[in-house]
Amino acid sequence: MPGFDHELQVQLFQRNPDLAPALLDEVCSFPIPDYARAEIGCADLTNLTPKPYKADDVTVLYAADGKRLLAVITETQQREDQDKPFTWPVYVTTVRERLRCPVRLLVVCPDVKTAVWARMPIEVEAGGATLCPAAIGPNEVPVVNDTAKAMSLPELSVLSAAAHGDDPAVLKAAEAALDVVPERTRLIYNDFIEARLSAAARKLWEDMMATGTYEWQSDFARKYVGQGRAEGRSEGKSEGKAEDIVMILGARGFAVSEAQCERIRSCTDLDQLNTWLTRAVTAETVEELFD
């Protein structure tokens, strides 16, 4: 329960809105803009209508004794979003308060331009605290060309193949990585890689499968990738991609309407399906899939 001293000082600031800027200027040497007037704003920070804030992922690191060492908020950001400089600090402070440990914001971007934007410092407190997101674009994604490393962390290998697919050794490592994940996941990861490859890298991937000049050994390569190349762009492959899109949207908690499902399942354009598949992983709404 706040005491008399606390309440009195609160009243001082409430009675004279010029007091706070005067203290900042004279005591803290904080530059105050040449303002026309000062008003008392609403100090009740409770949202009467709760607004949901949901990060893409939160990873918590623990010590051997169970102590929380670090929480990493990961955001997959497909494009510039002017709301994020205001919501990202909310994510950080909320997770920090909830877990009572240091927090780091990591933003993964598909291109250099978005990564440069996401890396810009966010001024949280005027002239004071600044949030500096750690942003990763395709240039910063590690090159995973070692099979053992790829198999120990398959998801990193998938990102590496999507970013550095022009390197045959990276594709070889990715093939090995896909062989150690569950069957359904392999298909999704493979489609994600294909959608991100350049035309030259995709041709390299297809040529290695079709000619057999590369030493593809896994059951995955023979059963799914090799079979898919031999059959060409078949109707069955289109249906598989469509089902993957619907499954991903459902797994992310989206309510996909019958009309939206029909639009996805009736599409036979593999390039369009690849685009939708990539968007399904990061889209914030189902409608954004079709933008």
Per residue in 22-47, pLDDT (tens digit) is: 877 888 787 888 888 888 877 665 66
For residue 91, the model assigns a pLDDT of 92
**In whole angstroms, how large is the CA radius of gyration of the chain?**
25
Beta bridge partners of residue 74, listed in sequence order: 57, 106
What percent of the chain is predicted at pLDDT more than 90? 23
Q: Is the pLDDT of residue 172 over 80?
A: yes
Residue 117 has pLDDT above 70, yes or no: yes
pLDDT band at 66 (very low <50, low <70, confident <90, very high): confident
Kindly report the average pLDDT of the chain as a whole number: 81
- Which pTM value belongs to this model? 0.65
| Contact in structure between 154 and 180 (CB atoms under 8 Å) | yes
- Report pLDDT for 43: 66
Task: Flag whether pLDDT at 210 surpasses 80.
Answer: no
Alpha helices, DSSP H, located in the chain: 4-15, 19-26, 84-99, 112-118, 147-152, 154-164, 168-178, 183-196, 199-211, 219-220, 227-231, 235-251, 258-265, 270-282, 286-289
pLDDT for the residue numbered 35:
85
Query: b/e map of 146-172 (b: 16 or more CB within 10 Å)?
Result: ebebbbeebebbbbbbbbbbebeebbb
Tokens standing for 162?
Answer: 């999507």
Dihedral, 216, 221, 223, 224 alpha carbons, nearest 10: -150
| Cα angle 135-138-143, degrees, rounded to a multiple of 5 | 110
Does the pLDDT at position 4 exceed 70? no
| pLDDT > 70: percent of the chain | 83
Q: Does 248 have pLDDT greater than 90?
A: no
Mean pLDDT, range 283-288, rounded to an integer: 85
The residue ranking higher by pLDDT, 156 or 226, is: 156
Residue 185 has a pLDDT of 80
What is residue 160's predicted lDDT score, i.e. its pLDDT? 92
- Angstrom distances, CA of residue 269 to CA of 12, 229, 239, 275, 286: 67, 16, 10, 10, 19
Res. 54 pLDDT band, cuts 50 70 90: confident
Domain ranges in the chain are: 1-45, 57-136, 147-289
pLDDT for 86 equals 94
